[in-house]
Structure 1
Amino acid sequence: MSDELTPQLLLQAYGMGIFPMAESRDSDALFWVDPTDRGVFPLDGFYISRSLRRAILAADYRIAVNSDFEGTMRHCADRPETWINDDIFALYGMLHDMGHAHSLEVWRGDTMIGGVYGVSLGGAFYGESMFSGATNGSKIALAYLVDRLRMGGFALFDTQFITPHLATLGAVEIPRAAFQEELAAALELNGNFNAPATPSPQLLIQRSTQTS
């Protein structure tokens, strides 16, 4: 890993609204990204469809937080093309050890069927990647993540880019200038990712309905 890129420098970059990526898992280099249009999840606008509501209420899973951060990253990278290379693994592992990178996992028995990881800084959470190993796995993870951020005092959920999948759940795209304004306000806050208790499926649905 380059000696120039440290976890501290990475946090400074996030504070300015930029983040690193690699061209591929085999790439030796990282580059900085500052999208012209930024994907964000309004924390009061997560959309739970009827099918997702049924999947959540089925409760045939359990939610864990930071129980297998490395495993979550590896699941996220387990695809034909990925920007998660060895340097990314190392850097975000260090951020996790520092308390700035987190995973939320969906487990069915001993199998992780969905998950998401990202970086927290002040009242901003930067979603890095997610995966689904079973139907609705990633959607369930996102539903619980949005609730956790809301209950933990966060104001901004950055998705970096927007995809059709994220758009169906309520993610939107905003100009860079608007993102910078929201980021500046969020960084003045002190979000706590670890404090909120994981709600029951029923309470999750109730709180989501009240805010959407």
Structure 2
Amino acid sequence: MFFLTDSVKFPPVETASSDGVVAVGGDLSVKRLQEAYKKGIFPWFDQGSLILWWSPDPRMVLYPSEIKISKSMRKILQKKTFQITYNTAFEAVITNCAKIKREGQDGTWIHDEMIKSYTELHQLGWAKSVEVWHEDELVGGLYGIDLGHIFCGESMFSKMSNASKAAFIFLAEKAQKENYKLIDCQLYTPHLASLGAREIPREVFKSFLDLGLG
């Protein structure tokens, strides 16, 4: 297991454990997070534990053109049930992502230290959000890291049925218009698969990263 020091450098992702852990320790400084995402690595750990840095193989991604929109969801979008904005309420989105109760989870991995670091990334233009509103109330959204050609999704929330789906569809359509290569979804979930995301080898994901960061 590779333990990080004061240096922000990471070992090659190919050295990751079988479950995808690349390194342990370090901090959530802006420079370290920027370096991590450029390498296809993200932090995920429980509060009070050592930071775990992940690069899973395979990697769950969405090719923007492959977004799946059900007939019922199309009707909801056509009715303008939601008003969707981009990158206008980042702190509200990440705070809601931290607070929302999730099936099978006792707590949240989005704790105060993580909120602080990603808010700093937002202020630098790296972290961005999609907001979903209903009657002037924030009812859903998502946030992630924008690398310019790949959007690395981190978390989403929904207080109203279909709100997070609306956010994800909006992001996919925006990414397609702006010629983004991928939306990184990190790990498989049936929900993401139902929206068109699929697993690809880590090596392939890394090749897409290199297209924009070489």
Bucket of the pairwise TM-score, normalised by the shorter protein: 0.7 to 0.9
Distance 1:167 1:186 in 2: 25
Structure 2 residue 205 is matched with structure 1 residue 179: yes
- Shift in Å at residue 4 of structure 1? 4.6
Amino acid at match of 2:125: G
- Shift in Å at residue 186 of structure 1? 3.8
**RMSD of aligned Cα (Å):** 1.7
Is the 8 Å Cα contact of residues 116 and 129 (structure 1) preserved in structure 2?
A: yes
Q: Which consecutive unaligned segments of at least 5 residues does structure 2 have?
A: 1-24
Relative contact order, higher structure (CA 8 A, sep 6+): 1
Amino acid at match of 1:95: L
Q: Which consecutive unaligned segments of at least 5 residues does structure 1 have?
A: 189-212
Structure 2 residue 64 is matched with structure 1 residue 64: no
Secondary structure of the residue that 1:44 maps to in structure 2? Answer: helix
Distance 2:117 2:51 in 1: 11
Q: How does 1:25-174 map to 2 (within 5 A)?
A: 26-27=47-48, 29-78=50-99, 79=101, 80-174=106-200
CA deviation vs aligned residue, 1:112-159 (integer Å, no higher than 9, x gap)? 111010001131110000011111101111111111112223112101
| Residues 96, 3 of structure 1: alpha-carbon distance in 2 compared, 3 angstrom cutoff | same
Amino acid at match of 2:35: Q
Amino acid at match of 2:40: G
Q: Which residue of 2 aligns with 1:193?
A: none
Secondary structure of the residue that 1:143 maps to in structure 2? Answer: helix
Q: Which residue of 1 aligns with 2:13?
A: none
Is the 8 Å Cα contact of residues 39 and 160 (structure 1) preserved in structure 2?
A: yes
| Number of residue-to-residue matches in the alignment | 185
Identity of aligned residues (%): 39
